[in-house]
């Protein structure tokens, strides 16, 4: 019955008859991914993995969608700051608000983590979770990427969307595990990637339950709850999933520990790094980038057997609109 | 295709032809549950709920399994304390360990939350997550309930197992949302209830990622991360699921806010409280119980339209072994 249901769910033709990764160039990267998936899904094979243990975790910024010239959530933050400024005349003189509103990134940076924290809390806390989700939904449908002049959601990587879909078709449970805010991502991950809210793990601020009359709400408090980045990623995975992934994808040193946690264990395991090598279609950056710095993880990849995806060489298409 | 797959997954005969809740006596409680499920799963009906929004959350202690004469996790704690005592000669004189080891609950209680915290951390922190899971697995297969002289896992409620299975068959995603420790529950919830680790939400202590040579591990630290109880339950649901349930089940005031959060919103919604009224087959307790106190939620239930399940009258069987 399960095999039959699986066959039905895989759709007409079945996975074997069509190319599951048409936006990947034929080559070692694509072949390695397909070979791994075949290994763990072949019933009776030595490396067969039962469906409930097929957990895959994907970083978001720079792995599933573009993170240049800056994180999308930072653009959201800046737009909110500008929207809110008329109600906060004190921001005209107070730092770090003044610097941020004037686009003086150097002055903001001089304020360190404390300045960033102030800007995050001013724009991301105080409202209810539902109000925040509504603000995100409204912003993401109207904001446009500075280079491509398109909605940010158009900047998802076509090859990675295909990879997520391929894994889902092969009965993997696919999660996002991102340093980004979990309540910033959940309103749109299902529409772009087919990943539902309950499979999104991210950073968070504290929430407080409130009941006003007969109206319950969750209030977003100006206090960090959890940072899902670097060594926080395996912790976030343990908290939210409680299983160890067998497949992980990232693009920066913030994914180093997630890739270690995924691969340094018995049984078949796979990890990949998206290496941004395509200045023309996307961006080229790694060891010296302020956003998405890829240095230690790039050094560790060969010894650990992690696949380094060369965006320029391995991807036929980068963004869906470039097809 | 989906309807076909759903029919296949529902098993031979289909849900309509057999009683999905055979251990529930025919009556208003059983009828109310079945009527609600029919309402939200009837395609084309006014109250149809798409499958991805069919989120159900169940408290564990006293809702899915017995919590008398004390929480199962407290029995685990005491057994671990005794096991560890030979390595801790200082516990013979130090409080609260001395009192706990001597079974002097009054002296432990006199130490307040701080004493409880010390006992929890001494027995639940310091090891890795995998070591802790192994300790739980080992304990739960050997420990026996003091009254029934059976494994604690035999003390799951047969009618509630049927309810979880029924909701799953009707394509609900069923979560445990418990004040108990998430890493205490995950090793056994799938075997008893059919609820996988990633659908278990609970209280937690902080974890730290460690890499020793090529061996990564998550270390359990002696510091509370999150208390998933009372007003923490809607917060835990938001953190882990990011969707609002449409169905919730609890048994105590610790579930009050989860039931409010689930039902005080538009659309079809359902909540139930298991009322422990059966001193013979299980226990009878509510407003004055030290464990599983049910007072405010019992008062609120009629006005909110929450179903109060009368264990004695509504359940044909309580435990599977009583069939
Ligand atoms: Ca990234
Ligand atoms: Ca309970």
Backbone angles phi, psi at B246, to 5 degrees: -110, -5
Both tokens of residue A146? Answer: 């500075």
Give the DSSP H/E element, type plus range, for residue B274.
Answer: strand B270-277
Partners of residue A232 in chain B, C-beta under 8 Å? 209
Residues B174 and B135 in one domain: no
Partnered with residue B210 across adjacent β-strands are B217
Both B202 and B110 in a single domain?
no
Angle B296-304/B256-263 helices, nearest 10 degrees?
Answer: 20
Q: How confident is the model at residue B323 (pLDDT cuts 50, 70, 90)?
A: confident
Domain boundary among B91, B109, B142: B142
A-chain CB neighbours of B197 within 8 Å are 241-243
Judge whether A94 lies within some domain: yes
The reported pLDDT for the residue numbered A16 is 53
Q: What is the CA radius of gyration of chain B?
A: 21
Report residue B73 as tokens: 């996790």
Decide which of A99, A117, A142 is a domain's last residue. Answer: A142
Q: Tell me, yes or no, whether B29 lies in a domain.
A: yes
Distance in angstroms (rounded) separating the CA atoms of residues B265 and B269 = 8
Looking at the structure, do residues B137 and B80 belong to the same domain, yes or no?
Answer: yes
Mean pLDDT of B152-174: 98
Beta bridge partners of A275: A310
Block residue for tokens 């057994």: B79
- Separation of CA B63 and ligand 2 centre (Å): 6
Nearest to A196 by CA among B6, B233, B194, B241: B241
Boundaries of domain holding A220: 2-69+155-322
Dmax of chain A from CA atoms?
Answer: 68
Report the mean per-residue pLDDT for chain A: 94
Helix (H) or strand (E) holding B26: none
Looking at the complex, does the CB of residue A54 fall below 8 Å from at least one CB of chain B? no
The DSSP secondary structure of B50-67, one letter per residue, reads -GGG-EEEE--BTTTB--
Same domain, B227 and B316: yes
Q: Are B21 and B179 in contact (CB under 8 A)?
A: no
A241 within domain boundaries: yes
Closest ligand to C-alpha of residue B249 is: 2
Report the C-alpha gap between A174 and A165 in whole angstroms: 9
CA–CA separation, B57 and B39 (whole Å): 18
Determine the distance separating the centroid of ligand 1 and the alpha carbon of A252, expressed in angstroms.
5
A148 is a domain residue = no
The arithmetic mean of pLDDT across residues A2-9, rounded, is 42
The token duo for B33 is 């549950």
Taking 50 as the threshold, does the pLDDT of residue B200 lie above it? yes
What's the whole-number mean pLDDT along residues B235-245? 98
Q: Is A306 part of a structural domain of the chain?
A: yes
Q: Are residues B161 and B28 in the same domain?
A: yes
Q: Are residues B122 and B171 in the same domain?
A: no
| Residue B155: both structure tokens together | 């003390």
**pLDDT at residue A282 greater than cutoff 60:** yes
Let me know if residue A136 belongs to a domain: yes
Q: What is the pLDDT of residue A245?
A: 98
Pairwise CB contact (< 8 Å): B197 & A242:
yes
- B148 in a domain, yes or no? no
* Number of separate domains in chain B: 2
On whether both A175 and A128 belong to a single domain, the answer is no
Domain end: B87, B114, B142, which one? B142
Which of these, B246, B299, A177, lies nearest to B237 by C-alpha position? Answer: B246
In this structure, the answer to whether residues B228 and B314 fall within a common structural domain is: yes
**Where residue A228 sits, what CATH number does that domain have?**
3.40.50.1000
Q: Do A216 and B9 touch (CB under 8 A)?
A: no
Range scoring the smallest mean pLDDT among A127-131, A225-229, A236-240, B103-107:
B103-107
Burial class from Cβ neighbours inside 10 Å (0-12, 13-18, 19+) for residue B39 reads middle
Ligand 2 centre distance from Cα of residue B130 (Å)? 26
In a domain, A271, yes or no: yes
Q: Is the dihedral of CA A93, A94, A95, A97 positive or negative?
A: negative
Are B76 and B143 within 8 A, CB to CB? yes
Same domain, B95 and B63: no
Give the residue carrying structure tokens 């990232």. A250
A237, A314: one domain:
yes
Residues A273 and A297: beta-carbon distance below 8 Å: yes
A243 closest CB neighbour out of B5, B197, B264: B197
User: Is ipTM > 0.85 here?
Assistant: yes
Say if residue B34 is in the same domain as residue B175: yes
A178 lies in the same domain as A212: yes
Helix (H) or strand (E) holding B134: helix B129-142
**Amino acid B174: pLDDT:** 98
Over residues B309-321, the pLDDT tens digits come to: 999 999 999 999 9
Please determine, for residue B233, whether its predicted confidence score (pLDDT) is greater than 70: yes
Which tens digits make up the pLDDT trace of A168-199? Answer: 999 999 999 999 999 999 999 999 999 999 99
């Amino acid at each position: 019955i399960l095999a039959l249901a699986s066959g039905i769910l895989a759709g007409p033709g079945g996975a074997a008859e069509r190319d599951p990764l048409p936006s990947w160039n034929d080559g070692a990267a694509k072949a390695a991914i397909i070979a791994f998936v075949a290994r763990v899904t072949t019933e009776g094979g030595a490396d067969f993995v039962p469906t409930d243990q097929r957990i895959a975790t994907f970083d978001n910024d720079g792995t599933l969608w573009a993170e240049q010239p800056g994180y999308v959530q930072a653009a959201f933050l800046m737009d909110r700051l500008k929207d809110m400024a008329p109600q906060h005349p004190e921001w005209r003189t107070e730092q770090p608000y003044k610097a941020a509103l004037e686009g003086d990134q150097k002055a903001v940076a001089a304020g360190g983590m404390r300045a960033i924290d102030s800007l995050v809390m001013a724009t991301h806390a105080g409202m209810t979770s539902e109000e925040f989700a509504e603000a995100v939904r409204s912003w993401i449908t109207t904001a446009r990427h500075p280079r491509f002049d398109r909605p940010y959601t158009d900047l998802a990587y076509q090859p990675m969307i295909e990879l997520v879909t391929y894994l889902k078709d092969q009965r993997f449970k696919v999660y996002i595990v991102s340093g980004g805010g979990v309540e910033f991502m959940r309103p749109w991950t299902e529409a772009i990637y087919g990943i539902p809210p309950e499979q999104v793990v991210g950073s968070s601020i504290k929430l407080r339950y409130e009941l006003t009359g007969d109206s319950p709400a969750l209030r977003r408090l100006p206090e960090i709850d959890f940072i899902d980045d670097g060594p926080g990623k395996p912790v976030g995975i343990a908290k939210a999933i409680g299983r160890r992934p067998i497949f992980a994808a990232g693009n920066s040193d913030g994914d180093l520990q997630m890739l270690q946690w995924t691969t340094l264990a018995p049984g078949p395991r796979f990890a990949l790094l998206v290496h941004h090598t395509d200045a023309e279609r996307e961006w080229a950056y790694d060891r010296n980038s302020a956003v998405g710095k890829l240095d230690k993880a790039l050094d560790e990849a060969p010894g650990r057997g992690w696949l380094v995806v060369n965006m320029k060489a391995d991807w036929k298409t980068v963004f869906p609109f470039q097809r």
